[in-house]
Amino acid sequence: MELGSIVFYRHYDRFQDILTHMSVKEQSLCISDESFTEHHQYDRQALFHILYQSNDMWGFVCKQIKRKDGGIGYKILNSNNKVNQINDDEIYFALSMDAFTFTHWAEMENDKKVLLSPHSTVIMKKPSLSTIKLSKSIKAVFGLGQNMLYQLVSLAKGSPSYPSSNPFNSQWDEYNPYKPSKETFQGYYQSMTNSPWGTPPPRSASSYNFAQDKTTLHAVPFLRDNIQPTTFSVKKTAKSYENDLRMFINFPTGLPLRLG
């Protein structure tokens, strides 16, 4: 399970209630958007957004861990923005964000940690919409500080725009963005995951036109009021899905049984 995946592990009864209210069976969650719309007459992504809004049912994956019994577990960022540990078998459903946007990011001190104020407060700023659109996703990282999961993004031409009307921007105006070395930048891109903007990542930093002393690096926190998903895909389905999906697709109204 990749970092940033959304894993549902609590309140399975409420999960079922939402599906029932939306007239959906579990099996239909993992069919294509087109097939879902054909069967249910509304967009599957709309249902995923409803599930996402029920944020006490799920958490963001921060790290995979190996349990003492040899099983797999995960550190997750829960609905209280705290990190706790769950076992893999507690997860009954999972989504990945194929695309998302955000409103704020944290400035970085270096490639290993976010920038803190003298009072140990994370330096958060709200970039302009045009700056956000120009930023490029690199990878999700856990361990940059404050026990938080971050999405690293870069700005090739640097000089991010911060509207002075935002209180975060005026409060932290004296703090400048971090400019990585070419080697650091290259190293991040060589290990990056797929972009949340939905396009395959390039193989080298040069594909993003790295500019010495201009390119800046920023850390987007996976806070629920900061990350704004646009599209999702299914990462993990219940065991019953695999057994029942083909039957569901072939006979969506039930088996054509004849008695007598």
How many Cβ atoms are within 10 Å of 69's Cβ, its own excluded? 7
Beta strands across the sheet bearing 6-8? 83-87, 72-77, 58-66, 6-8, 93-102, 227-236
Sign for the pseudo-dihedral over CA of 221, 224, 227, 233: positive
For residues 76 and 182, state if they share a domain.
no
Instruction: Tell me whether strands 105-110 and 113-114 are parallel, antiparallel or unpaired.
Output: antiparallel
**Contact in structure between 228 and 103 (CB atoms under 8 Å):** yes
For residues 197 and 123, state if they share a domain.
yes
For residues 70 and 119, state if they share a domain.
no
Count of structural domains within the chain: 2
Q: pLDDT tens digits, the chain, 260 residues: what are they?
A: 889 999 999 999 999 999 999 999 888 898 889 999 998 999 999 999 999 999 999 999 999 999 888 899 999 999 999 999 999 999 999 999 998 999 999 999 999 999 999 999 999 999 999 999 999 888 899 999 999 999 999 998 878 999 999 999 999 999 999 998 888 777 776 655 444 433 434 334 444 567 777 899 999 999 999 999 999 999 877 555 444 444 444 545 444 444 43
Residue type, 240: S
For residues 243 and 196, state if they share a domain.
no
For residues 91 and 185, state if they share a domain.
no
Phi and psi of 124, rounded to 5°? -100, 140
For residues 215 and 242, state if they share a domain.
no
Question: What is the spatial distance between Cα 25 and Cα 22, in angstroms, rounded to a whole number?
Answer: 9
For residues 137 and 189, state if they share a domain.
yes
For residues 151 and 221, state if they share a domain.
yes
**Contact in structure between 127 and 91 (CB atoms under 8 Å):** no
**Contact in structure between 99 and 229 (CB atoms under 8 Å):** yes
For residues 144 and 116, state if they share a domain.
yes
Residue 1 belongs to a domain: no
For residues 30 and 134, state if they share a domain.
no
The Cα angle at residue 114 between residues 108 and 120, in degrees rounded to 5: 125
Q: Residue 185's domain spans which residues?
A: 104-225
Residue 255 belongs to a domain: no
For residues 221 and 238, state if they share a domain.
no
Q: According to DSSP H, which parts of the chain are helical?
A: 12-21, 33-40, 44-53, 129-134, 167-171, 182-190, 239-250
